[in-house]
Amino acid sequence: MLQVAFIKQNTEEVKKRLAKKHFIEPEIVDAIIAKDDERKQLTFRFDETKAKINAASKEIGALMGKGQKEEAEARKKEVETLKGELQPIQQQLDEAEKSLHDLLIKLPNLPSEQVPEGRTPAENVEVRTGGSIPQLPAGAVPHWDLAKKYDLIDFELGNKLTGSGFPVYKNKGARLQRALIQYFLDYNTKAGYTEFMPPLMVNEASAYGTGQLPDKEGQMYHATADNLYLIPTAEVPVTNIYRDTILKEADLPIRMTAYTPCFRREAGSYGKDVRGLNRLHQFDKVEIVQLVAPEQSYDVLDDMVAHVEALVQSLGLPYRILRLCGGDMGFASAITYDFEVYSAAQERWLEVSSVSNFEAFQTNRMKIRYKNSEGKTGLLHSLNGSSLALPRILACLLENNQTENGILLPPALQPYFGGEMI
């Protein structure tokens, strides 16, 4: 959530940067300023009236001490009148503060100056590429056929048990999932990330803190009886670990990693993009999250991008890194880098990771602060990235490494899987 003071001091800049995200309600900025002015006026009236009540109350005590009962009774009536005025002012102030908050949560985060102009994914900027696209053997097939051939994943059974988008991994397919999860976690913890195993459901406050509410409410599964949400990513519970916390500068940076299943309704998805593992309602992902001092966040962002890049390289997959344009960015992000790996059998790029800097947008919602060496308190910056999401990684590993004799696994995975070949 943006801070009101920043909006008022940089109004035109805020509108300009929101336009880069193609935000369609810029008039909300002016409404926020007007509502904050109203809130301040009401606060002044409330404080002024309260001060009059306090002064009159003291005066009543003094008059009673002097035996001036009539004067004291008169002042008591004045106090009652002032208290009667105070209640509606308080009510108006509460309404103004709620209206201001409701307006603020409609504003997305401001894009960084590094974010390119553009409205669609076609306008994202390719930062760099790596790896080589393999030449597949004759008769090569996509991963859904390989999964059936080697009895790795049963999509039809998942459809029977739950519905489409909920595959059942089995035999060496299940073992490969476990191998990938353990490899990703080990890779992250060796880099200094602390592992967590968070809940898979969160309350409204947690979903609001990271920006899923109210922006992505329709994309989350909602357990209405208890008003809990199945997590769309480990980012939500992990970042909220430090909600309403003031950290010491010496404790920074905070590095966290977690494996969780993720649940997304993916409403509106259809066609070839949802075939096999390309788009699921439940999938496994390992996440990394950092909380850092503001002046360090963009250096940390570069480090996190390099961390994910090295992980993708270790799997031997061809990849590209994209800097997302303003129109293709998420609600809470200030800047996002997407990683895509090339699916040789499908002949298309598949997204496997997003690495984002949210600056103070999430931490302002969650009140995650720190006290610097001078004793001043300020908001931290939050960052997160997929390290990595499993479904499309698995799809590309199966497709790109298929041979006439089976699927050859990359050396980094072989000790975790317990073999070289499926």
Tell me the residue type at 293. A
Q: Which of 252, 240, 244 is nearest to 198 (CA)?
A: 240
Q: What is the mean pLDDT of the chain?
A: 95
Alpha carbon distance 307, 130 (integer Å): 14
Q: Which of 314, 277, 5 is nearest to 188 (CA)?
A: 314
How far is the CA of 382 from the CAs of 178, 235, 277, 299, 369, in angstroms? 29, 10, 30, 13, 11
Task: Spell out the domains of the chain, with CATH numbers in brackets.
Answer: 4-104 (1.10.287.40), 121-417 (3.30.930.10)
Residues of each annotated binding site: 233, 264-266, 287, 351-354, 384
| Residue 271 confidence (pLDDT) above 80 | no
Q: Which of 51-65, 86-100, 270-284 has the highest mean pLDDT?
A: 86-100
Confidence (pLDDT) at 71: 83
**pLDDT tens-digit readout, 326-366:** 999 999 999 999 999 999 999 999 999 999 999 999 999 99
**pLDDT tens-digit readout, 147-185:** 999 999 999 999 999 999 999 999 999 999 999 999 999
pLDDT bin (cut points 50, 70, 90) of residue 123 is very high
> Long-range contacts for 147-152 (Cβ within 8 Å, ≥24 apart)?
147/173, 147/276, 147/398, 150/406, 150/407, 150/422, 152/176, 152/398, 152/422
- Phi/psi at 298 (5° precision): -80, -30
Helical H runs in 257-360? 297-314
Q: How large a percentage of the chain has pLDDT more than 90?
A: 88
pLDDT bin (cut points 50, 70, 90) of residue 268 is low
**pLDDT tens-digit readout, 41-73:** 999 999 999 999 988 888 888 888 788 888 888
Confidence (pLDDT) at 289: 98
Confidence (pLDDT) at 73: 80
Confidence (pLDDT) at 270: 60
- Phi/psi at 404 (5° precision): -65, -25
| Residue 95 confidence (pLDDT) above 80 | yes
Interior CA angle at 101 toward 265 and 206, to 5°?
40
Residues of each annotated binding site for L-serine: 233, 264, 287, 384
Confidence (pLDDT) at 272: 57
Residues of each annotated binding site for ATP: 264-266, 351-354
